[in-house]
């Protein structure tokens, strides 16, 4: 037997059949709302002056790229210190990988002793 499943969008304000889903962000949070064409227009009209005066922010992917670029610009001191911490931990029988994040317990023990 065949089944047909349907998804119907419902306007989150009026309960009528929605025409579109709008994504927006405020105070560091992202939101989605399903709206009819009329309610979508009202939302855009209300926000129009604010959008016109605002700056476009970098999206999450750009922020991640920026963070990785900053990490790439860090001096080699960080790498040298991490290598020293790894050697210190191994001498004390702690398991640490050659690369990647050093476990918090290892860092805490290292900083308490040094």
Residue 69 banded pLDDT, cuts 50, 70, 90: low
For residue 66, pLDDT beyond 70: no
Residue 25 has pLDDT above 70, yes or no: yes
Choose the most confident range, by mean pLDDT, from 6-15, 33-42, 50-59, 96-105.
Answer: 33-42
Cα separation of 96 and 109, whole Å?
Answer: 13
Question: What residue ranges do the domains of the chain occupy?
Answer: 1-57, 75-113
Give the pLDDT score at 2.
Answer: 87
Nearest residue to 46 (alpha-carbon basis) of 10, 9, 8, 13: 13
Instruction: Record the pTM.
Output: 0.49
Q: What is the pLDDT of residues 74-110, one digit of tens each?
A: 555 688 888 999 999 999 999 888 888 888 888 889 9
* CATH of the domain spanning 75-113: 4.10.320.10
Whether domain 1-57 has CATH 3.30.60.230: yes
On whether the CB atoms of residues 10 and 18 are closer than 8 A, the answer is yes
Matching CATH topology for 1-57 and 75-113? no
Q: Which helix (H) or strand (E) holds 103?
A: none
| Exposure of 60 in the CB half-sphere (CA atoms within 13 A) | 4
């Amino acid at each position: 037997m065949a089944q047909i499943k349907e998804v119907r969008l419902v306007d989150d304000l009026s309960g009528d059949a929605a025409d579109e889903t709008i994504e927006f962000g405020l105070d560091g949070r992202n939101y989605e709302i399903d709206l009819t064409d009329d309610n979508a227009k009202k939302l855009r009209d209300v926000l129009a002056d604010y959008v016109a005066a605002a700056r476009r922010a970098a999206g999450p992917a750009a922020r991640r790229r920026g963070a990785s670029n900053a990490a790439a610009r860090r001096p080699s001191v960080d790498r040298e210190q991490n290598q020293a911490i790894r050697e210190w931990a191994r001498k004390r029988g702690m398991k640490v990988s050659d690369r990647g994040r050093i476990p918090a317990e290892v860092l805490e023990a290292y900083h308490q002793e040094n």
